[in-house]
Amino acid sequence: MITSPAFAGKRYAVLGLARSGIAAADALLASGAGVTVWDRNEAPRTAFAGRAEIADPLEIDLTGFAGVVVSPGVPLNTHPIAARAAAFGVPVIGDIELFAQARASLPPHKVVGITGTNGKSTTTALVHHILRAAGTPTTMGGNIGLPILAQEPLTPNANGVGVYVLELSSYQIDLTYSLDCDVAVLLNVTPDHLDRYESLAAYAASKARLLAMSRGTHVDFTRGDTSPSLVTPATGPDSSFLSAQAGWPSLQGPHNAQNAAAAILVAQALGVADVIDQALRTFTGLPHRMERVATHDGVLFVNDSKATNTDSTAPALAAYPPESGQPRIHWIVGGLPKEDGLGATEQHLANVKAAYTIGEAGPRFAELLEPCVPVTRSEMLCEAVRQAIAAAVPGDVVLLSPACASFDQFKDYEQRGDRFRQFVAALTEEPGIDPCAGARAA
- 3-state secondary structure at position 81: helix
Strand locations in 347-420, DSSP E?
352-358, 375-379, 397-400
For residue 236, the cross-strand partners are 232
Q: In what order do the strands lie in the sheet with 375-379?
A: 291-296, 299-303, 397-400, 329-334, 352-358, 375-379
Of 118, 143, 303, 351, the catalytic one is 143
- 3-state secondary structure at position 329: strand
Q: Which helix (H) or strand (E) holds 385?
A: helix 381-391
Tell me the residue type at 115: T
Question: How many CB atoms are closer than 10 A to CB 393?
Answer: 11
Q: Are 353 and 376 in contact (CB under 8 A)?
A: no
Closest CA to 13 of 90, 72, 103: 90
Examine the residue annotation and report whether 143 is marked as an active-site residue of this protein: yes
Q: Are 388 and 420 in contact (CB under 8 A)?
A: no
For 336-340, the CB contacts below 8 A with 24+ separation are 336/360, 336/361, 336/404, 336/405, 336/406, 336/407, 336/408, 337/361, 337/364, 337/404, 337/405, 338/192, 338/308, 338/309, 338/404, 338/405, 339/191, 339/309, 339/310, 340/364
Of 109, 110, 118, 120, the catalytic one is 120
Examine the residue annotation and report whether 353 is marked as an active-site residue of this protein: no
Q: Would residue 439 be called left, alpha or beta, if left means φ above 0 and alpha means ψ between -120 and 50 degrees?
A: alpha
- 3-state secondary structure at position 347: helix
Length of the chain: 442
Task: Kindly calculate the radius of gyration of the chain based on its CA atoms and give it in whole angstroms.
Answer: 23
**What's the rounded Cα separation, in Å, for the pair 350 and 204?**
31
Of 10, 193, 296, 338, the catalytic one is 193
- 3-state secondary structure at position 364: helix
Closest CA to 413 of 309, 285, 311: 309
For residue 141, the cross-strand partners are 166
- Which residue numbers are catalytic? 120, 143, 193
